[in-house]
Structure 1
């Protein structure tokens, strides 16, 4: 994996750099959702015959996947965005396309705004929090961060395992930092309650939204009104990368071509 020093203490952000010889100065950054990791979510998507083979950075955010998990780390969506912006500056990319899934869409949107004229196509996949997501994150943040780290995280993992429908997600979730989960959950709830659709509408770049097969006409309409091209991937629920990686690869590639 590639490494990037996240701070002066030497904590490391890790990511996969795939197809580096393809459009090398303008990569696509993959930003995963809460409790996920790009290194586990997106390899089947990137390997698909339907994928565009654009240079792709599969980033494990700090506190997630293979990246470091300092107890004293800052894990809000704003802090994660700032680190990604620093990475982009350090690599001297002339521009970037950005993909963000679920709560990672908030980070992706913030990053696109921060980069301004260096932001190419922004692709949001199942963006924001649905009712289940709000309920789940509210359950986490109902306790203090110390309580979640000491007791709540283990209890939450046991609850997810008992549900029996989260086996793929449990892998990256179980190795994530409980500090990161708690802080990101807090900021994701704040982001979701804010006018992020309005921020998306005001963003001046190519914009696409990828939704699951269960998307309603209301879901589709609000993103179209924000100036986004919308595509629904068949045979999927919220975790589109797990349910239909081939379909997600095709949708991403279509949206990159529009840019």
Structure 2
């Protein structure tokens, strides 16, 4: 469904192919990635930090579907409306699934497709499964408040802060979409896309069987030191270096 609501973004002006950065469930690129965009490894590039509908500074329409596919279509329309001939996309967690869907829509316009700990398979992660277990109305009427209060109590204060600003409807439908997955699945679509591909892990998220599995498919798999899933906040310079590695010439690896 097309929404007339505004999807907002922060633009860092610079050179080269535009890099779009897409956040995960309950997060906001405007909060999570400014220090990444300004890190030495990426400074000087043209970068767009996108807040998906329902998150961050973007509008929260009630008539939007908030599935991975719905968000991807918004990214596609953004690229088309900007008139970009080519783009690079970075997507984290749920944003990685959205990046894969958007890359399918944009085809050869995508030069580099860079994901960090993205959802490649159905079933979701621990947080999305807990959220999706609620009925939609129950989550909106109390589950969302309970979720970010528990996150804050557990020390996940950054995620709790962005969750507080997020639409409960957007969070629940996003989580449901991750649990349901897609057909064809995101993993196979990622592997077969013609762009140069990178999949980033945080050191604290390892070991993970996908380090070897994705490497065997010819996908670059850098690791951000001293960071886990929230690597954009835990080690923004390290994430910037991993993204820059994914954007570099293959001969430099």
Is 1:206 matched up with 2:202? no
Query: Cα deviations across residues 209-228 of structure 1 (Å, max 9, x unaligned)?
Result: 11111322623111112321
Distance 1:22 1:73, change over 3 A: same
Is 1:166 matched up with 2:156? yes
Deviates more, 1:189-198 or 1:220-229: 189-198
Matches within 5 A, 1:71-110: 71-110=62-101
TM-score by length of 2: 0.91
* Kept after mapping to 2: 8 A contact 1:31/1:38: yes
Partner of 1:15: 9
Gaps of 5+ in 2: none
Which of 173, 185, 207 does residue 183 from structure 1 map onto? Answer: 173
Partner of 2:222: helix, strand, or coil?
strand
For 2:147 and 2:105, the matched residues in 1 are separated by 34
Partner of 1:70: helix, strand, or coil?
coil
For 2:96 and 2:233, the matched residues in 1 are separated by 17
How far 1:248 moved relative to its partner?
Answer: 0.7
Partner of 1:3: none
Gaps of 5+ in 1: 1-5
Distance 1:134 1:254, change over 3 A: closer
For 1:251 and 1:136, the matched residues in 2 are separated by 25
TM-score by length of 1: 0.89
Q: How many residue pairs end up in the alignment?
A: 247
How far 1:258 moved relative to its partner?
Answer: 2.8
* Kept after mapping to 2: 8 A contact 1:126/1:238: yes
Deviates more, 1:47-56 or 1:191-200: 191-200
CA RMSD after TM alignment: 2.0
Query: Cα deviations across residues 24-62 of structure 1 (Å, max 9, x unaligned)?
Result: xx3100000001000000001111122252210000000
